[in-house]
Structure 1
Amino acid sequence: MAMTENQTRGRRVDRLARALTEVGAPWVLNIVSSLFLGVYLESIAWGIFVAMISGGLPMAFILFEIWRSRIGDHHVTEHRERHLLIVVILAIVLAGLVIQICANAPAELIAFTAAGFATLLAIGIITSVVRWKVSVHTAVSAGITVILMLAVSPIWVLALACTPAIGWSRVRLGDHTTGQVIVGAFVGAVIAGGTYTLFT
């Protein structure tokens, strides 16, 4: 049976939502922004290091857990699957932060890592204590945008438009409620921005 015009349009919208969700995934944004800051600060090696601890290793762990059938998908949409994952990623990021401090990495990249750690810690508290699946996608998107505004140029405020688009995709796909993406964006912007400012 041929699809109706509304069904065809709906599938196209779903494809757009999936594309935005993938492009705006936390591990993707963390890797891209870390490498960008590394180039901007003329410290590519440290940029690569931060990309590894903030995006590469966390995603590797997620894929390993998927292989072990302990996580259902790479966006970790099930609330109960997020608890251990957050603890592991916090440990990875904290270890990386200690290495950066001890090895005198650029202050901006140390602050970037500290901001990521603080944001994930806040999300972890909301996830495990409040038992609410706040959006990591929008938290990372908003947090990174605020950091780039502080570290590079205020013109990066324009990138804030990406956060509601990513949030819409998460709601459209049924992975979060509108409240969860809004709170995620607020937590990311405030915690990441505040922590980055403290460390610089």
Structure 2
Amino acid sequence: MSGVFEPEHWMMVLPPYLGWRAAGRGGVWWGLVAAVLAGVVPAVFLALGARRGWWRRGLRVRRERLVAVPGLLLVLAVALGVVHGAGAPREVAALVTAMVAVVVAGAAVTGVWKVSAHAAVSAAAAAALVIACRPRPVGATVLLVAALGAVVVVVAWSRVRLECHTRAQVVVGAVLGLALGGTVFAGLR
């Protein structure tokens, strides 16, 4: 399950959807630009680094993360510059900013402890979707929160089951993503 919900996959799917919700067809194009810059390019960067032996696929070892993160942050800084500087719809720019904030915070924690990026990004994506969709009536909101919450729980469980993280690492990741990602997204949209 964690393979389907890789952090970069969230960033390939959510920006076009949020762009469409915010600005129709033009927003979809901006979402696709954001998806390439904040989803595809980071995935290619990580895959090339693994292929060259700089780190292993999945960055399972904390020291490998410390090697990969500076380059990843540089790639994401370019994505931020484009979506903010070139006029992407607010929701698209807010999503990219929220996810970058989660990656930066996760990178800071990684300096001393390995936190789950899968759980963090999944929780941040769930928060952004709930905030952006604001379903009515209240029952629809409850269903959306329950469905997305279940996805986050399954992703976190899979990371523990695969022995990539401890329970504490996925819980901290999920809380980090929910609190920081949700707050940044809500504040910027």
TM-score normalised according to structure 2 size: 0.89
Unmatched runs of 5 consecutive residues or more in structure 2 = 136-140
- Tell me which amino acid in the other structure corresponds to 2:129: L
52, 71, 82: which is aligned to 1:99?
82
Per-residue Cα deviation, 1:46-99 (whole angstroms, up to 9, x for no partner) = 1111111221011101111111111112x2111111113222222222222122
45, 48, 67: which is aligned to 1:61?
45
1:49-198 mapped onto 2 (5 Å cutoff):
49-73=33-57, 75-128=58-111, 131-154=112-135, 155=141, 156-158=144-146, 159-198=148-187
Partner of 1:16: none
Contact 2:34 2:96 in 1 (8 A): yes
- Tell me which amino acid in the other structure corresponds to 2:113: W
- Tell me which amino acid in the other structure corresponds to 2:49: E
Secondary structure of residue in 2 paired with 1:21: coil
Separation (CA, whole Å) in 2 of partners of 1:72 and 1:92: 19
Separation (CA, whole Å) in 1 of partners of 2:172 and 2:70: 21
Per-residue Cα deviation, 1:122-153 (whole angstroms, up to 9, x for no partner) = 0011001xx21100000011100101111123
Contact 2:55 2:64 in 1 (8 A): yes
Aligned length: 178
21, 38, 58: which is aligned to 1:40?
21
Detail structure 1 runs of 4+ shifted over 6 Å in the superposition: none
Displacement of 1:39: 2.8
Displacement of 1:25: 1.0
Highest CA radius of gyration, 1 or 2?
1
Separation (CA, whole Å) in 1 of partners of 2:175 and 2:109: 13
Q: Percent identity?
A: 31
Contact 2:49 2:55 in 1 (8 A): yes
